Homo-oligomer: A and B are copies of this chain.
Amino acid sequence: MISEKRDLPKKTEDLSGWYNKVVLLAELADYGPARGTMIYRPYGYAIWELIQKEMDRLIKEKGVANAYFPLFIPESLINKESKHIEGFSPELAVVTIGGGEELKEKLVVRPTSETIMYEAYARWIDSWRDLPLMINQWNNVVRWEKRPYLFIRTTEFLWQEGHTAHANHDEAWQMVLWAMEMYTKIYEDFLALPGYAGRKSESEKFAGADITLTYESLMPGGKALQSSTSHDLGQNFSKPFNISFLNNEGQREFVWQTSWGLSTRSIGGMIMAHGDDGGLRLPPRLAPIQVIILPVGNEAKIIDFSRKLVDKLKESGIRAELDDGENETLGSKINNWELKGVPIRIEIGPKELEEKNITAVRRDNGKKQSLKQGGLAEQIKNLLDDIQNNLYKEAKKFLEANTKEVNNYEEFKKLMAENRGFILAFWCEAPDCEEKIKAETKTTTRCLPLEAKEENGLCIYCGKTAKHKWLFARSY
């Protein structure tokens, strides 16, 4: 099945061709029959399940409860917050027929759930005792996509969306920050994707938010990828949706809200950032299979030994699998598991049955490592941690090497013409400069890093006073 690996383009020569092909060949995903849709195949979905498991734990620990709201939003409801509908209306899929009849009111397939959730929040919240209300859902959303790209841009995708309502702005803002910290943790510790957490500019923020925080990572081609955001919604929704509460002085106030989401786009980023010419290189913490055991030949003794080894590793909580299929050569199997990015490969031949050591091959750097059979699970766990850290370090090095401070617009244009990653430059925060930079260089402001301090500088474009260095890049 995966013998077409020879067709995989070189990643450095044709990133986009390599990406599409590796996603299909590694059986992470496939195209759906309706334009722009995708199928999450078991191997790709298993990665999402591992992300879910970790995030779900963190979300629940924070006291946010899971729930599920309807897919269909009546048109009149989604129209209630004007900037929100303005931002989303070009991307909507609309149901006009239900149960064989033309509907009186059209139903929008949710592109995000603010409006459908807040209609209920207005009914559920009455007093300060009902606050904070903190709900998350794991669901599918639909945003019409004209230039689909597996995982990165698809008409339907999977994500989680958290929606909280608070009695005051400070508490809401702490929640916005908490969500971005959680995402940063998921990116750094699981996806092994370093990046910048920061604030979006006015023109790039979420339709309906006062402030949007984003996590921006860098892809090998030099483009930025955004796959999680956290929004301070202020009272922008609570006013039109009339979500108010009696405070403990008996006065009615509108609630302060947040929403935050991370999507399966993050998987696309992980594939693109870490893969190499041989295929995927999965970070061990998100690898559905962490160790693949390949028996050499089909001698019963060897198969039996391999099977016991798998069981032993599984008992220690390592996701180990045996590939004892008889219809493939060892070489073809090695190719296959390399393509699928399994972090550690162990071959078991007659030698391993006799000696005290076995050899593990790392997917990240191809190095062979001799491990003692006594206490093997512990050594494997350490090796997996080391691979996880190494992938992160490599990506961090790439990010740092491709983040440049620039003080003049000519240099800015030159770097961006070459797609050279992130540029840190003073910007006066006037939308006009941002727009012109975008028109002239296809580059957008990505964010103002959270840790940025106020400085005195001159806008890279207009030369007027600027207080902060912003991050610019081309993006997906």
Contact = CB atoms under 8 A, between A and B. Distances in A.
A123 B126 CA distance: 54
Contact of A34 (B40, B74, B91, B146): B74
A37 interface: yes
Nearest to A326: B129
B120 A30 contact: yes
B156 A70 contact: yes
A73 B93 CA distance: 13
A286 to B, nearest CB: 15
Contacts of A70: 32-34, 37-39, 156
Interface stretch (A10-18, A95-103, A303-311, A456-464): A95-103
A158 interface: yes
B90 A99 contact: yes
A72 interface: yes
B39 A71 contact: no
B71 A140 contact: yes
Contacts of A126: 1
A72 B42 contact: no
A119 interface: yes
Interface string A118-158: 01100110100110000100011010111000000001101
A319 to B, nearest CB: 12
A89 interface: yes
A116 B42 contact: no
B72 A32 contact: yes
A120 B34 CA distance: 12
Given A156-B70, A158-B68, A144 B99 contact: yes
Nearest to A75: B34
Contacts of A213: none
A146 B99 contact: yes
A129 B2 CA distance: 13
- Size band of the interface chain A makes with B: 35 or more
A67 interface: yes
A41 interface: yes
A69 B109 contact: no
A49 interface: yes
Nearest to A145: B99
B92 A94 contact: no
B45 A66 contact: yes
A106 to B, nearest CB: 8
A42 B71 contact: no
B66 A41 contact: no
A56 B280 CA distance: 27
A77 interface: yes
A374 to B, nearest CB: 31
A467 to B, nearest CB: 39
A370 interface: no
A113 B93 CA distance: 19
Given A42-B65, A70-B37, A107 B89 contact: no
Contacts of A361: none
Contacts of A46: 65-66
Given A95-B94, A99-B91, A45 B68 contact: yes
Nearest to A66: B45
A435 B291 CA distance: 58
A116 B45 contact: no
Given A42-B66, A68-B158, A71-B156, A33 B116 contact: yes
Contacts of A251: none
Contacts of A98: 92-94, 144, 155
A111 to B, nearest CB: 11
Nearest to A35: B98
B93 A68 contact: no
Given A1-B130, A32-B69, 10 more contacts: A30-B124, A33-B73, A39-B70, A42-B135, A48-B68, A68-B158, A92-B99, A93-B95, A96-B97, A109-B109
6 contacts: A32-B72, A34-B73, A34-B107, A40-B68, A129-B325, A140-B140
